[in-house]
Amino acid sequence: MRLADHRNRHLERIAEVRAGLHAEKVGYPIGIRETRVVRTVMVGAGLLRVTLGGAGTEGFEAHSPDEHVKLLFPEADGSLRLPEPNGTMLRWAGSVLRSRQYTVRRYDPVAGEIDIDVALHDGGLAADWAREAGPGAVMHLAGPPGGLIVPHSYDRYLLAGDLTALPAIARWLEELPRSAKGWAFVEVSDATQEIELSAPEGVEVRWLHTAGPSAGDGDALARAVTGVTVPDGERVYVWVAGEAGQIKPLRRWVRDELRLEKADYDITGYWKRGVSDFDEDDH
């Protein structure tokens, strides 16, 4: 009964924030789910989509384009250590658990499927697993712990990020009202990594190419984003994710140039050059 009451509270809060003026992160009841790989397929040249299914997907919480789950991997000796339930949250055993954090690209409650789009790069724990995973492979998920609920009352939306942020941006564009206006900037290595996006007609999508293999380098993304002019009197929501150092100038820009309140933007480092398991506190 208490679980049902908790569900009602967070769903009610999501509805309240969605109908309001400012964004807010809302927590969901969190647990561990055992899923199995249904299929894998390339999405463009840079993302491998892993579709997970099974009884563990029942009742999955999905309310926000930037919500994430942790994929839980066995230790080197093959043993699997999982977080322990702690009320509506989980108790983590520090760094002893091998996990990687990924955006929920899609949840289909009818089919019982969860899509995770993995950016492929050499030597990555999740990327290597995804390349080898066949139908029936087991994957335990933790989360999502919650999501960023953004009202549809903003005049414009500005979305930006690199390949790692593309799954979230794609979901953002699908879930925005068809009347929404704004901009979406996506930095990829070249045109082969571009994918079809379902953007509202009033949202301009710009692909930026790095013209080389060095992801997370250069200032093309920051220059493109800061070149935007928000019409006087309009309210804008800004969402940015990618390499922590590359997006750092945009934190100053939204604060000093756009003068946005903290509730009107979210800028998150999804990864950091030279760090194998980077996990920014608010991601």
Q: What is the pLDDT of residues 120-177, one digit of tens each?
A: 987 789 999 999 999 999 999 999 999 999 999 999 999 999 999 999 999 999 999 9
Give the model's pLDDT for residue 77.
84
Mean pLDDT, residues 204-233 = 85
Give the model's pLDDT for residue 271.
78
Q: What average pLDDT does the structure give for the chain?
A: 90
Q: Evaluate the omega torsion of the peptide bond into residue 144 and state whether it is cis, within 30 degrees of 0.
A: yes
pLDDT of 249 > 80? The answer is yes
Give the model's pLDDT for residue 130.
96
